Chain A
């Protein structure tokens, strides 16, 4: 949306020969750009630069793409990288399949007119989001623990006792369990975003629909949902980015080696472990930067695809 045509709206005003410098744009942008550049961009730039250097006998030497060759060529590095990437994709899939539809459903229910206790429900469902990962990891480890017996007893009561396993300790189940825990924790934010968007739909549109006899589920699917696609887009891209950068839950629940046997290793934990080191492994900032660069490129590619193909096509309604 632009507004520079304002000048032409006033009829008899003489159009200036040259457009005056719009200082206000710079003023509006300045604080954000300054803080962001100084603290986020420059240090990160320094770190990414490290990817092109190597440490030989405590000296730093320029190494061009050698580190990248190591990442993809060396058996161990390559295994860890692709393992983490696949785990990330799976992790993201769980969130898209479970969290986004659930967020839309809950937001729709909460925005029903005159729903009693709406604020209470909202607060309750949002509470897990407010917790620190330390609490989340702790309480879910306790609940799923085969030793202190909450989940086995619960499943037994439901007659599903045979389904129980020490989920977080088994390579086949750990990542799925953590994905579900992550959905439990993160549900609040998409729900609030969708809820805000639904409340922003003006009453006239709803009333007009109801006059035409469109109510209930049909109303939701045909009227509300199309108006919500931009928000769904925002939620999707935020979920994707947050997943790809996520680290804290797996770190606090499974430790820095993302056990058992790297089955819960995602790019975030791989990066942390490589860059800062694990218990006895010393950190390698150069290989760490290579992984960071790869993560950056992957996310950049996906976000670009989203911005240029999907975002542009989303119809944004103004009221």
Chain B
């Protein structure tokens, strides 16, 4: 009896050791996209694992609020996963400079991306890229089609039409005209100011001028959009100062609001939650006939941890990410996140198709504050959150806000002449 038991134990141990030797490599992906967990697990990773049976991939996201602090700690201590999701522009640049992530110049398929697509994840001289671009998001306005139909409104194209529409909705009283809050502050910067401002500072022209130092935030082209969002106040929910981002989402999807400043990332979630048809329109132009501009922002990239123990396998995964197969898979699995590859992807979701369609007529520009001008202390993006929220709350005037922002920028930023 005992002898049999001993044999059984030894056999199990040997089997265990044997299995361990043939164990597949496990790659871990760090990300802030809790939202995408099931999509990676069920759609994207199986596609990769089918082609590479000896590699297993685990998508292990961290709550978005904690991600930056956590990934910094992990990279400093060397405990981060093999693949790192990259925020755009300066955050991963710092990691690259500290030699915590590697260059991806040698990944097969990097020429699938245009130089513009790679700007968010390349060094200033453009020579070295350190994250494979994954997706961009587009900003605009979503609206409740049923509400518009009931009130006989068509989507506005100019700023004056925009306010006329808001007035009409407010007079009717049934719907909240404009659904945005200031408690979380980032919407005031990214969904309000940086959404409509490109129309005033003419997209890339204005953004590059700011970086070069030939334009200042106190110039009219940057102050005007602040004045415009200050005019939004009477059309917001009563008590919007305590309205959080999830509140805004709920108000819209429960059918209580007519217009919702929205990034394309909302598409997937809203499709599930809203009981009405959703339409979208791009940010209004200042004067009829002006060229339209959209905030088309590279949002997610994927880089490789310099201290990974599975470099070869990690690179294989990055090749997969740079492939057209991934582009199609991702764009349609996560509608609203548009691939940055040159490959033309057939976007299936109608609302996503509408957003993507704006690229044809409007000029794209990434968010104003993300490249270079947020490298120092105080960084312009975080500062803009506070000031834009303040303008919408009425606690600071637009010229004062822009003045303080420029002062903060001047305290450390010396544009290369």
List residues of A whose CB falls within 8 A of some B CB. 58, 76, 141, 144-148, 165-171, 254-257, 259-262, 272, 276-284
Contacts and interface: CB of A to CB of B under 8 A. Distances in A.
Contact of B185 (A148, A165, A257): A257
A277 B181 CA distance: 24
Given A141-B244, A257-B185, 9 more contacts: A147-B243, A166-B243, A168-B183, A257-B382, A260-B185, A260-B395, A277-B69, A277-B72, A282-B72
Q: Which of under 10, 10 to 19, 20 to 34, or 35 or more describes the interface residues of B?
A: 35 or more
B243 to A, nearest CB: 6
26 contacts: A145-B239, A146-B238, A147-B239, A168-B242, A169-B241, A170-B242, A171-B395, A254-B183, A255-B65, A257-B382, A257-B385, A259-B183, A260-B241, A260-B390, A260-B393, A260-B395, A272-B69, A276-B68, A276-B69, A276-B72, A276-B73, A277-B72, A278-B68, A280-B381, A282-B72, A284-B377
A52 to B, nearest CB: 19
Contacts of B251: 147
Q: Which secondary structure dominates chain B's binding surface?
A: helix
A42 to B, nearest CB: 15
Interface in B242-262: 242-244, 247, 251
Contacts of A260: 182-183, 185, 241, 389-390, 393, 395
Contact of A257 (B238, B386, B393): B386
B128 interface: no
Nearest to B72: A283
Contacts, number: 106
Interface stretch (B37-45, B91-99, B217-225): B91-99
Question: Which 7 residue pairs across A and B have the least CB separation, nearest first?
Answer: A146-B239, A169-B241, A166-B242, A169-B242, A276-B69, A166-B239, A280-B381
Nearest to B369: A280
A272 B247 CA distance: 26
Contacts of A277: 68-69, 72
Contact of A281 (B65, B182, B241, B379): B379
Interface in B41-93: 65, 68-69, 72-73, 90-91
B184 interface: yes
A257 B184 CA distance: 9
A76 B242 contact: no
Interface string B91-135: 100100110000000000000000000000000000000000000
Interface in B385-404: 385-386, 389-390, 393, 395
Interface centre among A144, A256, A281, A283 (most CB of B within 10 A): A281
B379 A167 contact: no
A262 B242 contact: no
A260 B186 CA distance: 12
B386 A280 contact: no
Contacts of B408: 76
A144 B72 contact: no
Contact of B90 (A259, A261, A280, A283): A280
A170 B377 CA distance: 26
A280 B374 CA distance: 7
